[in-house]
Amino acid sequence: MSQQNLNQPVWTALVTPLTATGQPDMTSFERLLREQEEAGNGVLILGSTGEALNLSPEERRLIVEFTTSLDLQVPVMAGVGGHHLPDIISWLSYLETRPIDAYLMVTPLYSKPGREGQFHWFSTLMGFVSRPVMLYNIPGRTGAPLNLETVQRLSEHRNFWSIKEASGSVDDYLEYRQASNGAVMYSGDDVMLPDFAAHGAAGVVSVAANVWPHATRLYCEMAVAGSLTDDDIALWRRAAGSLFVASNPVPAKAVLAAEGRIRTPEVKLPLHRNDMTSMDLVRRCSEEIGEWYRTQASDSGHQRADSTFGGTGRAAEHADHAAGQAEAPSRR
């Protein structure tokens, strides 16, 4: 484990690069991990952005073993999701043998448990592990919100550390903050970060940081400091939104492949790369983020990294190639 402070301003919900035949591409994966390390961002592996539920158990273990073998100088968190308790306990038994710093635990999928079901679910999982836990509220994916009374009851648990709030509501964020009895609060949505930061959020669990690791770090630091302008906020809302023109992580992978940072834009079914029908919006946004970062980094003395946006314009150079890949028939 990294021995680093878990309360990082940015945790990057990292994509899982794939080969053309759909296998984890560890060369590309290491490149992305090193980008995040250089930016100083915590790394979340095997979240929904990492397509964890679409990977086989062997593939998930490969991701964990590879990540923890690199001795990264940033903390690593592993996603824990599903709704079959024995399978999740088995997965946690394995994770406990690896140098993972924290776990992200999401409300059980599909079954829509209520207050008691959620409490006993989370308390069982949290009691099984030895590392800090971030609870994850994303009712748009799970079908049910994280129960406020459950949060209050779990707030004294020895492993309760933080909440990732992704309902898109400031009112909900404030209710979770109060119920959590001082837990560290994170925005689960890049777009909502300025709104949540105004009410004490420590940072963001970010999709955008896959594409713009250094720029997202600076954006988050400025949001937490309250120094973003209205124009800054509008730009980031537009840019972060462009990464959801198709189901996440299809757009992020398309951009990364266009820039040569991963080898293919492949995703696991039921997602498909062909759902990214145009690169135009995300290309424009990427260029704007690159210019924003160059200006802001120069003004603030922030360490620039032009290869990872700080942008180099590579998105523009390769956009037509990426669009062609997205529109080509799948070989699978």
* Catalytic hit among 103, 136, 173, 176: 136
- Cis peptide bond N-terminal to 194, omega within 30: no
Q: What 3-state DSSP class applies to 14?
A: coil
Cβ neighbours of residue 147 closer than 8 Å, sequence gap 6 or more: 114, 115, 118, 119
Could you tell me the two tokens for 311?
A: 């942008």
Residue 268 appears among annotated catalytic residues: no
Encoded amino acid at 21, one letter: T
Q: What 3-state DSSP class applies to 135?
A: strand
**Residue 179: half-sphere exposure toward Cβ, Cα within 13 Å:** 18
Quote the CA–CA distance of 194 and 20 in Å, as a whole number. 38
* Catalytic hit among 94, 110, 164, 186: 164
What H or E segment, with its residue span, contains residue 201?
none
- Cis peptide bond N-terminal to 17, omega within 30: no
49 within 8 A of 244, measured Cβ to Cβ: no
Quote the CA–CA distance of 327 and 272 in Å, as a whole number. 10
Could you tell me the two tokens for 101?
A: 């710093």
In angstroms, how far is CA 194 from the centroid of its own chain? 17
DSSP-assigned beta bridge partners for residue 116: none
Cβ neighbours of residue 86 closer than 8 Å, sequence gap 6 or more: none
Count CB-CB contacts under 10 A for residue 324. Answer: 10
DSSP-assigned beta bridge partners for residue 136: 106, 164
Residue 103 appears among annotated catalytic residues: no
Count CB-CB contacts under 10 A for residue 264. Answer: 18
Cβ neighbours of residue 249 closer than 8 Å, sequence gap 6 or more: 15, 49, 50, 51, 207, 210, 267, 271
Q: Which positions are catalytic?
A: 136, 164
